[in-house]
Structures are given as structure tokens and as C-alpha cells.
């Protein structure tokens, strides 16, 4: 490629990357600004927004983490089992089962939320069971779209899997159970972890399901921030956001060191 | 002035009944408006209530219309709130939907101290403050742009203000009041809300705000120069030094009440009643009026207010003041409300 | 490597050359937990959603009994609602096209680059994805608002006399959606471009083709199914998005997702909201199936 087109290409790449970083930088800069959060340029460096973060945000963070961990754990367990079954099982209608298990990925999260909410109404009508606005129902609601993430990643991991390794292990005297735990599972682990990370991020980021299935007792962090923007806009929102950005970046760096971000390539949800 | 108010409050406090025996960890879920109002209620009502009784208050912010929707959606199951602050028109809808409880007067002795206009004739929650809806605007920005200060609702349609007026959404009381104002400008009233929609659709608005918190930010940043607003919030900004003014338009401002109610199906009815009673106490009422200038509904404060005209001029201090304002017939309005929302969606906001 | 003959005879013959226990009917049972959970938390609720959409709306927060198509008829026969659907698709089209235009150069760079900055660049592209959508959109406030960065620059430079409306409208929604989905598009394109070996490109260059010519006449035709698949996938995600349009549209931008939310949470017309949700779902499924077909073609 010629130097000139190289230069143009680099320029475009630079601009696009700046665009991608822009809101994140804006959040961080805004959190230190003494003036109104929507204004530029920022005035008067101050840390007072960080001190003013109300305890409600920490409660919301706690809720988000509990739900995300729960949904991820559940998804990893049943998702891995399902992926193993789909890859190795010999049954009729295998393709249909595969499509069924991945079908939530085709459904907009908002629709999953609406369906879940209306289902809680049905459960009330039939069983007088009031499960809305509980951590359990929110975790299950998230699991609906987390499970397919794990199944998909685990299936992809198995596609690259060399079964002769298992054969070799059994040649050396391992029983099928030993082979599973000491050969199969460890080799699949990166794929499972990738799926787990996707699931965790999707759950933590979710707004529609938390909005529809949650209530005053189950306020997740994104929902809390959204409500605050509308009804009590203080600049401490930017401080909260900056903290989230920093923590996310740190976690990302850790993940990158451990398994490399390139292995997380894939298309997710909006 | 502050010292005298404080002294008066202490004196009044001496007349208050003895504190309740404290209860175990009960938390009341209270639906409120959010922003500065929740903050002032927390300061003057909730925190003091918790100190005296040990009952915690958890405020959930949102528009009363949204809170009502939540209560209706939860009908039959566990009530999402124990106590709700509602606009008086939303209260009418809530009563009709059956999501509120009548009050037990023996648990709310302060009811006897309220103006008659603040009491609910059917025995539901009372009004806890009076307020007016009028015009708020940024004097500085208007002066810089050479635009005369608006004096009437009609002035908002001044082409020089195009893109600088924030219109309240129908989910807010200001929005519903403004819709009636627009209908009147167009030769109608609360019976012909479609005229109001037509009129508002012809206004080139900056944006449609759904909460006072949003509008506060927009005024602060100078994005918005004028808006229909509520006296308390506007005066709140003025008192904190913002270059703004609040006026009652020549066609007439609107008078309203904020009511406080017990939600149907709450498991803490006694504590809910006690909290409502506390909100109506003179000290919380006076503190609220001082923090954000809304008119107390507790009659016993009338002499205090009469002694401080600089304070009481900012709000409807008595039912007589209220009668100077337009009082919308909410029953008529509510029967046309859903249709108005549909028309709003189609004609007002569906534009790029 | 062990061959069939050398395997000790105590192992059963299986049809494939896989080791014992690596496959078989036993594994099939492992799918049951997932199937059970998914049935309870997904399939049943979706079935009820479909049924809600066929019930009459008899009052706020309630659905009546009986089957009716009234909700669908109401949606499909009203130009207002059809307009909402059209707006949704239009916004999707605009957003994904912009993503394609902006994303392709970056994807090309990342796919072909051998520089040591590649890792860092990939990190920068992926980083926004891992930060919560709400936070990302929050960052647009100081940039797009009337007193924000862009308007400050425009006013200082004298390019406009009054601030441009970039937020609480469709423009803001489009900008934020592009930001949200650009990394997805870039990553999808990187895969597509990598599949086309650089040797083909080199061959074209050796024959005298410039980079733009190479793109239009070599890369584009070869990668069309993959490009189309990527386009459709991102398009589906854009029309399904809720958080970003809700935050950036300021109650003014009515698209399918915000309409559905409004019906379910404010208007409390559950039947109509369910019908709108089913319509959105139908569109999403059609698009996803199309993209899968394109992917299979590659």
C-alpha cells in the first residue's frame, strides 16, 4: 500500500478511535468539573461530587453484582452441560434442540422483559405467587439471555476440540470420568470462561429486564442511574460513572492478560 | 429572619404530642417526586420522623403518574409503596383505580388543623401543600437577547423565544396545567383538550421536560430561557442566586395541591398514618415552606406566615390566595386525559 | 496414534473413531437442566406473551379473556404506528450504514496490520463494549448538549449562531447508536476481511490496482455474504435496542422499543404492548434468519 493511502487510512482510524473514546473521556472530565455537568468547558476542578455519592448507589451496585453473579453461575453450569450434550449427544432432533437453546439470542431483551413481566402476572392469577421485584426473579430473567451466551461459547470451544486427546488419555489408563474432569473440562475452560464473561457483562449492563421485572426492592445500578438522571440530576452521577469506567477498564486489563481480549470477539446485544 | 423562624418553630414544637414508642426495623416505602423536593422532605419530615419513632423512610423518586401506573400494575399483589405523594388530579385517578386507602382520622389528628380546602371530602389523603403553576424565565438571557420579559402564557409563543422554551410533558402537573392554559388560549378549556394540543404543537419548543430536576439543569446551563413551572422550584433557584423570575401570567396561573396518601394493601398502615400525620405537623410544614416555597396546609401556621410577607408572597399562603388562581376541574380533565395523551404522541412529540 | 486394531479389546466398538464415552446417548441427558430452566424462564413467558397479544384490552393493567386480533389490526392499520415501525427500520438502516462506512477502514487496518500497536488498538475498539451502555450514553450529555463540547466549538469558531440540537432527538439517538454498535461492526468486518487472504490483495496490487479499486472489485465481491451477514446482525441489534434510544431520545423519539415500554409501563395497555412486542420480535427473527443464511453461504 502506498504511503499516502497508508497515511489517510491511519488518519481515519485515529478519528474513529477518538470518537469511540469521546464519551468515556467526557464522563471522567465531567466528574471533576465544578459547574453544571452538561456544560463545556469544565470549570473549577473539584472532588466534591465523589464525596456526595449517595449510599443508594452502593446498594444498587450490590444488587447488580448479586444478580449478575447468580445469573452467570446458573448459566455456566447448565449452559456447559447443554453444550456438551449438543456436541456429543446422539439424538434425533439435535438441530432443533440447538436452535431452541440459542433462540433467546434472537429475541430483543426488551421483549424478554415484557414476556417475563406478563408471566409474573399470570403466576399471580393462577398460583397467587407474587415473585416480581425479587432478586431471584431478576436473576432468572437475566439467565434467559445469559444461558445461550454460555452455550454458544462452549459450542465454539468444542468445535476446535481435538477428541484424540481424550483417546490418548484413555490409552494411558484414565477412566471416562477422570478423562472428563482432567482433560475435557480444562480444555474447554477458556470457552466457558468467555461465555461466562459475556453473560456477566450482559447481565450487569441490562436495563429493560431490570426495569420491567424489578421494583423498589431490586434496583440495579443502570436503573438507578437512569432514574437519577431524570429525577434528581446531580453531578455525582458523573462521579459514579467514572468509578464504573475505571473499574471496568481495570477488569478488562486483567482479562486481557489472562486470556486475551481477541478471544472475546463476537456479536452481542444492544 | 432565620433566627426568628427557628425560635417560632421551637416554640411550636413544644406543643407537639410526645414521641411514639420506637418500633423495630420497619421501613416505609414512600413514592415521591425526586430532586429538591425529596431532599427537603427528607430533611424536615423523614429524618425527624425516624429520630422520633425509629421507622425508616425509603423514598422512591418518579412522577406521580408513573407511581400510579406502578400501583395499578401491582393491583391485587403486594403494594409497591406504603405512602404516596400525588398531584391532586392523579389522586383523583388513583381513588378511581382503587389503589388508595381512606385515612383513619384517629391516627391523623393533624387533619383537624388543616384548611378545609385541603381535606379530602371522601376521607382519603389530604393536601400537604398548596402551590401555583406560572412562568419562570431567565432575566439575564432575555435581556442579552433583547426580548421583553413574558407576562402571559401567550408570550411563550413569541417567535424570538423559539427553541428556548421548555414545555412540560403531560406526565407532570405543570404539563397538564399548561395544556389547559393552551386550550384556553385557543378558545377552549379542560373539556376541549385537543385545542390545547393544537396550540402546543405550534410552539417550537427546546425540549419536553419530565421532571423539575431536568428543567433546573437546563435553566442552569442557559439552554432554556423560559418555561411553565411550579412556584416552589422556580423560587428555589431564585433564592440560590439564579438570575430568574417567576410570575403568574395575566391570563391566570393555576392553583394545585400535593396530596399525601396511604396506599391500599400496605402492611404498615399504622406507621404510614403516623408519617402522614408528621408531615402535617407545624415544624415539617414550616421547614418545607422555608426550604422550597410551597404553601403549608396547616392552619396553625397562618400567623407565622402573616408575619413574614417576603416568604409568603412566593406561594399561595391561604385558600384565599388559592382562589385567585385557576382551579382546573380535574374530573372533566381526567375523562379526556387518555385521548389527550394519544393526540400529544401524534402531534406534539412525533417530530424530528 | 492408536489405531482401531491396537485398541485393547475390552473397549466396545463405536461407529466413529472417537474414544469411549466421548459421545453417545448418555451425554444427551445433560441438556435437560438447560431445557427445563429455559422452558420456565423463556419459552413459557414467550408463549404467554403471544397469548396476551391476542386478548382484548379491557382496562389499564388488565387483559380480558377470549381471542381477538384487534391489537394487531390496531397496529397495522394505523399509519401512526406503522410510522413508528418505519422510523425504527429507518434509524436502523442509517446507523448500520454509518457503522459500515466508519468501521470498514478500521477493520481493514486491524486485519492487515502487522504493527505492534495492533493489540492496543484492538483493546481500544473493544473497551467501550465492556462498559455499561448507560455510562456510555451519560458521556454524551457534556458533548452534545446545547452548552456542551460540540456546540462550544461551533459557537467559538463562529460556525453557527445558535446551538445545534444534538440531543433529545433522533440525531442524538443515531450518534449514540453508532457509538454503541461500531465496535461490533468492526469486529465482524475484521473476521470477514481476514478470511480473504492478503495474498489475493497483493496479487491485485501487483497487477496495478489501487486500494479503492481493490476494495470494490476484489474484496467486496468476495466478502459479500459475510458483509451482508454482519450488516443484518448489527441491524437486528439496533432495532432491538432500548436503553440508548430511551436515554438519548428524551421521550420524543418514538420507535418500537420505546413504544412498547410506554404501553407496558405508562399506558398499561398490556395487550397492545404485547402485540407490538410480537411484531418487533417477528421482524427480528426474519432478519436473524436471513443473516444466518448469508453466513452459511460464506
> Looking at this predicted complex, what is its ipTM?
0.89
Mean of pLDDT values over A9-24:
92
Query: Residue A255: pLDDT band by 50, 70, 90 thresholds?
Result: confident
3-class secondary-structure state, position B59? strand
From B73, B207, B341, residue closest to C61, measured CB to CB: B73
Mean of pLDDT values over C258-265:
92
Quickly list DSSP for B282-303: HHHHHHHHHHS--EE-BGGGHH
For residue B257, which phi and psi values (nearest 5 degrees)? Answer: -130, 150
pLDDT (tens digit per residue) in C265-298 = 888 899 999 999 999 999 999 998 888 887 777 6
The residues pairing with B260 across neighbouring beta strands, listed in sequence order, are: B85
| H/E stretch holding B168 | strand B165-168
For residue B79, which phi and psi values (nearest 5 degrees)? Answer: -65, 135
Give the distance from residue C265's alpha carbon to the nearest chain B alpha carbon, in angstroms. Answer: 7
Choice between A206 and B311, residue whose per-residue pLDDT is larger = A206
Residue C21 has pLDDT above 70, yes or no: no
Q: Which chains touch A (3 or more CB pairs under 8 A)?
A: B, C
Query: Residue A20: pLDDT band by 50, 70, 90 thresholds?
Result: very high
pTM listed for this prediction: 0.87
Q: Do C1 and A164 touch, CB atoms closer than 8 A?
A: yes
Q: Do B277 and B109 touch, CB atoms closer than 8 A?
A: yes
pLDDT (tens digit per residue) in B89-137 = 999 989 988 999 999 999 999 999 999 888 999 999 999 999 999 999 9
Contact: C80, B169; criterion CB under 8 Å: no
Structure confidence at residue C18 (pLDDT)? 55
Does the beta carbon of A136 lie under 8 angstroms from any beta carbon of chain C? no
Q: Could you tell me the three cell numbers for A204?
A: 450487569
Q: Could you tell me the three cell numbers for C82?
A: 406503522
For residue B118, which phi and psi values (nearest 5 degrees)? Answer: -85, -15
Q: Which among A269, A252, A237, A250 has a CA at the least distance from the CA of A53?
A: A237
Contact: C34, A107; criterion CB under 8 Å: no
Q: Could you tell me the three cell numbers for B265?
A: 394493601
Q: Do C14 and C20 touch, CB atoms closer than 8 A?
A: yes
Looking at residue B148, the DSSP 8-state letter turns out to be: P
Least confident of A55-59, B70-74, C9-13, C99-103: C9-13
Domains annotated for chain A, with CATH where assigned, are 57-233 (1.10.3720.10)
Contact: A232, B38; criterion CB under 8 Å: yes
Give the distance from residue A28's alpha carbon to the nearest chain B alpha carbon, in angstroms. Answer: 19
Structure confidence at residue C24 (pLDDT)? 67
In C244-264, which positions are buried (b, 16+ CB within 10 angstroms) versus exposed (e)? bbbbbbbbbbbbbbbbbbbbb
Structure confidence at residue A183 (pLDDT)? 82
Structure confidence at residue C204 (pLDDT)? 78
Least confident of A2-6, B309-313, C5-9: C5-9
Contact: B163, C165; criterion CB under 8 Å: yes
Query: Residue A258: pLDDT band by 50, 70, 90 thresholds?
Result: confident
Query: Residue A261: pLDDT band by 50, 70, 90 thresholds?
Result: low
Structure confidence at residue C12 (pLDDT)? 46
Helices and strands counted in chain A (H then E): 12, 0
The residues pairing with B263 across neighbouring beta strands, listed in sequence order, are: B100
CB contacts < 8 A (A, C): 324
Give the distance from residue C224's alpha carbon to the nearest chain A alpha carbon, in angstroms. Answer: 18
Residues of chain B with pLDDT under 50: 14-23, 352
From B39, B213, B223, residue closest to A233, measured CB to CB: B213
| Residue of chain C with shortest Cα separation from A170 | C19
Query: Residue C1: pLDDT band by 50, 70, 90 thresholds?
Result: very low
To the nearest whole number, what is the mean pLDDT of chain C? 85
Give the distance from residue C24's alpha carbon to the nearest chain A alpha carbon, in angstroms. Answer: 5
Q: Which chains touch B (3 or more CB pairs under 8 A)?
A: A, C
Q: Could you tell me the three cell numbers for B155?
A: 408570550
| H/E stretch holding A242 | helix A236-259
Collect all residues with Cβ–Cβ distance below 8 Å to B64 and sequence separation of at least 6: B31, B33, B84, B85, B86, B87, B90, B173
SS3 string, chain C, reads CCCCCCCCCCCCCCCCCCCCCCCEHHHHHHHHHHHHHHHHHHHHHHHHHHHHHCCCEEECCEECCCCCCHHHHHHHHCHHHHHHHHHHHHHHHHHHHHHHHHHHHHHHHHHHCCCCCHHHHHHHHHHHHHCCHHHHHHCCHHHHCCCCHHHHHHHHCCCCCCCCCCCCCHHHHHHHHHHHHHHHHHHHHHHHHHHCCHHHHHHHHHCCCCHHHHHHHHHHHHHHHHHHHHHHHHHHHHHHCCHHHHHHCCCCCCCHHHHHHHHHHHHCCHHHHHHHHHHHHHHHHHHHHHHHHHHHHC
| Residue of chain A with shortest Cα separation from B58 | A216
Q: Do B323 and B249 touch, CB atoms closer than 8 A?
A: no
Q: Which among B129, C108, C194, B258 has a CA at the least distance from the CA of A10?
A: C108
Structure confidence at residue B6 (pLDDT)? 56
Q: C83: buried, middle or exposed (CB in 10 Å: 19+, 13-18, 0-12)?
A: middle
Residues of chain A contacting B61 with CB distance shorter than 8 Å:
227-228, 231-232
Q: Give CA–CA dist B147/B245, Å, rounded.
A: 14
Q: Do A172 and A134 touch, CB atoms closer than 8 A?
A: no
Choice between B35 and C138, residue whose per-residue pLDDT is larger = C138
Q: Give CA–CA dist C115/A6, Å, rounded.
A: 13
Does the beta carbon of B345 lie under 8 angstroms from any beta carbon of chain C? yes
Amino acid at each position: 500500500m502506498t504511503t499516502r493511502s497508508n497515511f489517510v487510512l491511519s488518519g481515519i482510524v485515529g478519528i474513529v478511535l477518538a470518537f469511540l473514546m469521546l464519551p468515556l473521556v467526557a464522563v471522567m472530565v465531567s466528574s471533576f468539573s465544578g459547574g453544571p455537568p452538561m456544560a463545556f468547558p469544565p470549570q473549577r476542578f473539584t472532588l466534591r461530587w465523589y464525596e456526595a455519592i449517595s449510599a443508594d448507589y452502593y446498594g444498587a451496585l450490590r444488587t447488580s453484582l448479586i444478580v449478575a453473579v447468580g445469573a452467570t453461575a446458573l448459566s455456566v453450569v447448565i449452559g456447559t452441560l447443554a453444550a456438551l450434550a449438543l456436541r456429543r449427544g446422539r439424538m434425533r432432533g439435535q438441530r432443533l434442540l440447538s436452535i431452541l437453546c440459542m433462540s433467546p439470542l434472537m429475541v430483543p431483551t426488551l421483549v424478554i422483559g415484557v414476556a417475563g413481566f406478563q408471566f409474573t402476572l399470570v403466576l399471580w392469577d393462577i398460583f397467587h405467587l407474587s415473585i416480581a421485584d425479587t432478586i431471584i426473579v431478576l436473576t432468572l430473567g437475566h439467565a434467559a439471555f445469559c444461558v445461550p451466551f454460555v452455550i454458544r461459547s462452549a459450542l465454539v470451544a468444542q468445535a476446535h476440540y481435538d477428541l484424540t486427546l481424550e483417546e490418548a488419555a484413555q490409552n494411558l489408563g484414565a477412566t471416562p470420568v477422570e478423562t472428563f474432569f482432567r482433560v475435557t473440562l480444562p480444555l474447554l475452560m477458556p470457552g466457558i470462561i468467555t461465555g461466562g464473561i459475556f453473560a456477566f457483562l450482559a447481565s450487569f449492563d441490562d436495563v429493560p429486564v431490570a426495569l420491567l421485572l424489578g421494583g423498589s426492592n431490586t434496583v440495579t445500578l443502570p436503573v438507578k442511574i437512569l432514574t437519577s438522571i431524570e429525577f434528581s440530576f446531580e453531578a455525582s452521577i458523573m462521579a459514579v460513572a467514572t468509578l464504573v469506567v475505571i473499574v471496568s477498564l481495570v477488569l478488562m486489563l486483567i482479562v486481557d492478560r489472562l486470556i486475551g481480549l481477541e478471544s472475546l470477539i463476537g456479536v452481542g446485544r444492544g | 429572619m432565620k433566627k426568628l423562624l427557628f425560635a417560632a418553630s421551637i416554640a411550636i414544637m413544644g406543643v407537639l404530642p410526645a414521641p411514639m414508642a420506637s418500633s423495630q426495623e420497619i421501613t416505609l416505602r414512600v413514592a415521591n417526586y425526586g430532586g429538591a423536593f425529596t431532599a427537603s422532605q427528607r430533611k424536615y419530615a423523614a429524618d425527624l420522623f425516624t429520630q422520633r419513632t425509629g421507622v425508616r423512610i425509603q423514598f422512591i423518586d418518579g412522577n406521580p403518574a408513573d407511581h400510579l401506573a406502578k400501583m395499578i400494575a401491582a393491583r391485587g399483589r403486594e403494594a409497591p409503596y406504603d405512602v404516596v405523594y400525588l398531584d391532586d388530579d392523579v389522586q383523583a385517578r388513583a381513588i378511581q383505580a382503587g389503589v388508595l386507602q381512606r385515612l383513619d382520622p384517629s391516627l391523623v389528628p393533624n387533619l383537624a388543623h388543616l384548611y378545609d380546602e385541603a381535606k379530602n371530602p371522601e376521607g382519603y389523603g389530604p393536601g400537604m401543600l398548596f402551590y401555583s403553576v406560572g412562568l419562570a424565565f431567565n432575566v439575564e438571557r432575555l435581556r442579552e437577547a433583547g426580548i421583553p420579559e413574558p407576562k402571559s402564557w401567550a408570550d411563550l409563543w413569541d417567535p424570538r423565544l423559539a427553541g428556548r422554551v421548555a414545555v412540560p410533558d403531560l406526565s407532570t402537573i405543570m404539563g397538564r396545567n399548561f395544556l389547559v392554559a393552551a386550550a384556553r388560549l385557543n378558545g377552549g378549556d379542560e373539556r376541549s383538550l385537543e385545542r390545547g394540543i393544537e396550540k402546543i404543537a405550534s410552539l417550537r419548543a427546546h425540549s419536553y421536560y419530565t421532571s423539575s430536576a431536568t428543567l433546573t439543569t437546563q435553566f442552569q446551563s442557559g439552554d432554556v430561557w423560559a418555561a411553565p413551572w411550579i412556584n416552589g422550584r422556580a423560587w428555589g433557584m431564585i433564592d440560590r442566586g439564579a438570575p430568574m423570575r417567576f410570575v403568574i401570567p395575566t391570563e391566570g396561573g393555576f392553583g394545585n395541591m400535593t396530596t399525601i396518601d396511604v396506599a391500599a394493601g400496605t402492611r404498615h398502615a399504622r406507621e404510614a398514618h403516623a408519617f402522614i400525620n408528621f408531615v402535617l405537623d407545624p415544624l415539617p410544614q414550616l421547614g418545607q415552606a422555608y426550604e422550597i416555597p410551597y404553601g403549608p396546609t396547616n392552619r396553625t401556621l397562618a400567623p407565622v406566615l402573616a408575619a413574614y410577607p417576603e416568604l409568603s408572597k412566593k406561594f399561595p399562603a391561604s385558600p384565599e390566595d388559592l382562589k385567585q388562581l385557576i382551579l382546573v376541574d380535574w374530573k372533566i380533565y381526567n375523562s379526556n386525559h387518555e385521548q389527550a395523551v394519544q393526540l400529544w404522541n401524534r402531534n406534539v412529540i412525533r417530530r424530528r | 496414534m492408536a489405531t482401531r486394531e491396537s485398541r485393547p479389546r475390552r473397549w466396545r466398538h463405536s461407529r466413529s473413531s472417537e474414544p469411549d464415552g466421548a459421545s453417545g446417548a448418555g451425554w444427551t441427558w445433560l441438556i435437560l437442566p438447560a431445557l427445563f430452566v429455559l422452558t420456565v424462564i423463556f419459552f413459557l413467558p414467550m408463549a404467554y406473551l403471544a397469548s396476551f397479544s391476542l386478548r382484548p384490552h379491557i382496562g389499564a393493567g388488565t387483559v380480558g379473556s377470549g381471542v381477538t386480533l384487534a391489537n394487531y389490526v390496531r397496529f397495522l392499520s394505523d399509519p401512526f404506528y406503522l410510522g413508528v415501525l418505519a422510523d425504527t427500520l429507518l434509524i436502523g438502516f442509517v446507523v448500520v450504514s454509518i457503522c459500515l462506512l466508519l468501521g470498514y477502514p478500521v477493520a481493514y487496518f486491524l486485519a492487515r496490520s502487522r504493527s505492534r500497536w495492533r493489540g492496543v488498538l484492538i483493546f481500544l475498539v473493544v473497551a467501550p463494549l465492556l462498559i455499561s451502555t448507560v455510562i456510555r450514553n451519560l458521556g454524551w450529555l457534556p458533548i452534545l448538549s446545547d452548552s456542551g463540547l460540540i456546540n462550544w466549538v461551533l459557537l467559538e469558531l463562529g460556525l453557527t449562531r445558535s446551538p445545534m440540537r444534538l440531543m433529545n432527538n433522533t440525531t442524538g439517538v443515531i450518534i449514540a447508536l453508532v457509538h454503541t454498535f461500531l465496535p461490533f461492526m468492526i469486529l465482524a468486518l475484521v473476521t470477514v476481511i481476514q478470511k480473504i487472504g492478503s495474498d489475493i490483495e497483493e496479487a491485485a496490487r501487483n497487477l496495478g490496482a489501487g486500494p479503492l479499486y481493490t476494495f470494490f472489485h476484489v474484496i467486496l465481491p468476495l466478502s459479500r455474504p459475510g458483509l451482508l451477514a454482519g450488516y443484518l446482525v448489527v441491524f437486528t441489534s439496533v432495532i432491538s435496542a432500548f436503553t440508548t434510544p430511551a436515554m438519548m431520545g428524551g421521550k420524543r423519539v418514538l420507535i418500537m422499543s420505546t413504544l412498547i415500554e410506554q404501553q407496558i409501563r405508562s399506558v398499561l395497555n398490556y395487550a397492545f404492548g404485547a402485540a407490538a412486542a410480537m411484531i418487533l420480535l417477528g421482524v427480528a427473527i426474519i432478519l436473524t434468519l436471513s443473516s444466518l443464511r448469508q453466513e452459511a453461504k460464506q
